C-alpha cells in the first residue's frame, strides 16, 4: 500500500476541529464555501471550472465536474486535475482531515483521462494515474497507478485497462 503524503499539525487542549480558524482565515473559508456550494449546482461546466480555478484548483482542459461534486473548502489550491478528467455525481475531493488532536493536509493529483464514478471520496495526499477509472462509491485512500480499474471501500485495484473497448466489453 502506498502511504499518503500528508503534513500533520498537532493540537493539545481540544480536538483539532476547534482550531480551524487558526488553520485558515475564516473569510477565505467562507468565500470558498459559497463558491464551492454554487459550483455543486451549476449546470455550466465552463463556469464551474472558471470559478474553481479562481479558488486555486489547478484544472486541465475539458475537466468535467458532475452535479453536486465537491472540492475541499479549506485547501482547494492543493488539488490538481488533468485534461479530460470526469468526476461523477456527488464525488468529493478532500485535501484536509481533522483526526483527533491533529489536522492532516495533502495534495491530491488526478491525472489525464481519468473517470471518477458517482459518490467517490478521494482523501488527502493521494494521486490517481492517467487513464484510470474509479468505480462508484469508492474510498480512494491510496495512490492509484495509470490505466487501471479500481474500486471499493477502501479502494483496491481490480484490473488493468488494456483499451477503451476492454471496459465496454466487461
Average pLDDT value for residue range 87-103: 96
Report pLDDT digits (tens) over 135-156: 999 999 999 999 999 999 999 9
State how far the Cα of 149 lies from the Cα of 131, in Å rounded to an integer: 9
Cα–Cα distances in angstroms (integers) from residue 65 to residues 24, 27, 132, in the given order: 25, 25, 16
Homologous superfamily assigned to 7-169: Hexapeptide repeat proteins (2.160.10.10)
Q: Which three cell numbers stand for residue 70?
A: 465537491
Question: Would you say 86 and 62 are in contact if contact means Cβ atoms under 8 Å apart?
Answer: no
Beta strands 127-128 and 108-110: pairing type?
Answer: parallel
Domains in the chain: boundaries: 7-169
Report pLDDT digits (tens) over 18-65: 999 999 999 999 999 999 999 999 999 999 999 999 999 999 999 999
Residue of 4, 48, 90, 96 marked catalytic: 96
Active site residue 96: yes
Amino acid at each position: 500500500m502506498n502511504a499518503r503524503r500528508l503534513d500533520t499539525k498537532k493540537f493539545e487542549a481540544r480536538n483539532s476541529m476547534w482550531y480551524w480558524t487558526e488553520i485558515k482565515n475564516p473569510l477565505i473559508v467562507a468565500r470558498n464555501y459559497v463558491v464551492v456550494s454554487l459550483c455543486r449546482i451549476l449546470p455550466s461546466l465552463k463556469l464551474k471550472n472558471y470559478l474553481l480555478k479562481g479558488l486555486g484548483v489547478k484544472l486541465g482542459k475539458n475537466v468535467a465536474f458532475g452535479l453536486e461534486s465537491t472540492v475541499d473548502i479549506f485547501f482547494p489550491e492543493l488539488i490538481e486535475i488533468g485534461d479530460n478528467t470526469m468526476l461523477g455525481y456527488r464525488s468529493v475531493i478532500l485535501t484536509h482531515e481533522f483526526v483527533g488532536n491533529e489536522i492532516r493536509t495533502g495534495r491530491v493529483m488526478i491525472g489525464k483521462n481519468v473517470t471518477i464514478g458517482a459518490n467517490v471520496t478521494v482523501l488527502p495526499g493521494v494521486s490517481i494515474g492517467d487513464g484510470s477509472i474509479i468505480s462508484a462509491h469508492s474510498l480512494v485512500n491510496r495512490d492509484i497507478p495509470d490505466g487501471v480499474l479500481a474500486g471499493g471501500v477502501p479502494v483496491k485495484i481490480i484490473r488493468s485497462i488494456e483499451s477503451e473497448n476492454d471496459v465496454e466489453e466487461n
